[in-house]
Amino acid sequence: MTNAREAMLADLQAELDEIEASGLTKRERTITTPQSAHITASANGEAREVLNFCANNYLGLADDERIIDSARNALTERGFGMASVRFICGTQDQHLELERKLADWLGTDDAILFSSCFDANGAVFAPMFGAQDAIISDALNHASLIDGIRLSKAARYRYANRDMADLREQLEATKAMNGGAGARRIVIVTDGVFSMDGYLAPLREICDLADEYGALVMVDDSHAVGFMGETGAGTPEHAGVADRVDIYTGTFGKALGGASGGYVAARQQIVDILRQQGRPYLFSNSLAPSIVAATITALDLVSGAADLREKLFENAAHFRRRMDEEGFELLEGEHAIIAVMFHDAALAAKIADEMLNHGVYVTAFSFPVVPRGEARIRVQLSAAHSPEDIEACVDAFVAARKAVEA
């Protein structure tokens, strides 16, 4: 056993060494303040005040005092945790209140809470889709969707990112299933927003194809819920297809306060079967009372947050305009995720490191997170950023480019 353990550890160390040699090691910088547009972060043992342009804090609610007060009150009145799964003794009235508020806001029959959206996506597929069924997934879907699909015995099909001609081909291919009788059930699965690019899924076209082929539509809207669409209900609302999406999944860990927790919102029978057979729901602790109470407050705030949504998109437009003026290559889009392209992984990493020296915290992404040759710095705007913050970020990009090229 000792030799086997040592061999395994040696193999793991060799893999870690290879990751390091490839420049792909992920290092964590330590933050000593609440998440916000302005934070104190440490790198190489030195703490400094920096502007944060890489958080999912789209509406700036992560340090909102009203949300914090709700969490604090719930700790006192409802306790620290439930110490149970939902179906034993882990359901408080506020869990049901949050589920009802979510469903009403998103326009679905019901909703069900999970510890994370990763768990929500992991719960959906196995109970609903078996060997007679087909799951058709966008090639750039989030890892949680990919992993969730793998838990199902359904036939798996994949279409190129946002490519509707390829999606049609995959839908046609399902007709050969079950001895030519076709798939019993088909579901088209997509992110609402592809987080590395900021691209929106073409939901209207996807829903049209779903109607044509009798398929369901599932959208993971984690990077849109709270700020896309007229009321912030996400990309289906933004695309005008809210009533044509069968399954919504999403997170409370981004625009809705930034803590944790996820959900599935769907037709009643779908939610009901997940309560009976969704393994992450059945075998994970209930969402903590403080998170539930704070998220209820976040939903109340978001429902009246048109000014925050407007500010967010004004900030995104401001950043795009200034970066264009300075000659940087940006991926096209309308989202608050803006990819600044450098293509070379080492160059992107050096730019990000140099920007920290100029007081701006951003993160570089390269293979395997994005394709080889498409390394970038992903900038994420927030409603909490001021025009001065955005100008400082652009100035840091310019200064970092000059320093690295010198």
β-pair type (247-251, 216-220): parallel
Q: Are residues 291 and 335 in the same domain?
A: no
The residue with tokens 């882990």 is 90
* pLDDT of 303: 84
Q: Are residues 311 and 290 in the same domain?
A: no
* pLDDT of 1: 65
- Look up the CATH number of the domain holding residue 30: 3.90.1150.10
Dihedral of alpha carbons 34, 38, 44, 45, sign: negative
Distance of CA 193 to the CA centre of its chain: 8
Q: Are residues 176 and 263 in the same domain?
A: yes
- Look up the CATH number of the domain holding residue 272: 3.40.640.10
* pLDDT of 45: 73
Instruction: Examine residue 291 and state whether it is found in any structural domain, yes or no.
Output: yes
Instruction: Examine residue 226 and state whether it is found in any structural domain, yes or no.
Output: yes
- Locate 369 and state its tokens: 């997170």
* pLDDT of 367: 84
Last residue of a domain, one of 254, 285, 303: 303
Residue 157 has phi, psi (to 5 degrees) of: -130, 150
Neighbours of 9 (CB within 10 A): 10
Instruction: Examine residue 263 and state whether it is found in any structural domain, yes or no.
Output: yes
* pLDDT of 269: 98
Q: Are residues 267 and 310 in the same domain?
A: no
Tell which phi-psi region holds residue 199, choosing left (phi > 0), alpha (psi between -120 and 50) or beta: beta
Tell me the residue range of the domain where 269 lies: 65-303
Alpha-carbon gap, residue 52 to 279, rounded angstroms: 36
Q: Are residues 345 and 260 in the same domain?
A: no
Dihedral of alpha carbons 164, 167, 169, 175, sign: negative
Alpha-carbon gap, residue 137 to 335, rounded angstroms: 22
Instruction: Examine residue 186 and state whether it is found in any structural domain, yes or no.
Output: yes
Alpha-carbon gap, residue 286 to 298, rounded angstroms: 19
> What's the number of domains the chain is made of?
2
* pLDDT of 27: 81
pLDDT along the chain (406 residues), means of 10: 89 93 81 95 83 97 97 97 96 98 97 97 97 97 96 98 98 97 98 96 98 98 96 97 98 96 98 97 96 97 91 98 98 96 93 94 90 94 98 98 90
Alpha-carbon gap, residue 394 to 176, rounded angstroms: 53
Alpha-carbon gap, residue 151 to 153, rounded angstroms: 7
* pLDDT of 174: 98
Q: Are residues 311 and 284 in the same domain?
A: no
Alpha-carbon gap, residue 21 to 7, rounded angstroms: 21
Catalytic positions, written as ranges: 195, 223, 254
Q: Are residues 359 and 242 in the same domain?
A: no
Q: Are residues 375 and 282 in the same domain?
A: no
Q: Are residues 274 and 210 in the same domain?
A: yes
Q: Are residues 32 and 167 in the same domain?
A: no
Alpha-carbon gap, residue 350 to 346, rounded angstroms: 6
* pLDDT of 369: 84
Helix axis angle, 387-405 to 345-357, nearest 10°:
120
Last residue of a domain, one of 247, 276, 303: 303
Nearest to 187, CA basis, from 127, 263, 261, 105 = 127
Last residue of a domain, one of 286, 303, 320: 303
Alpha-carbon gap, residue 376 to 197, rounded angstroms: 9
* pLDDT of 231: 95
Q: Are residues 218 and 357 in the same domain?
A: no
Q: Are residues 94 and 198 in the same domain?
A: yes
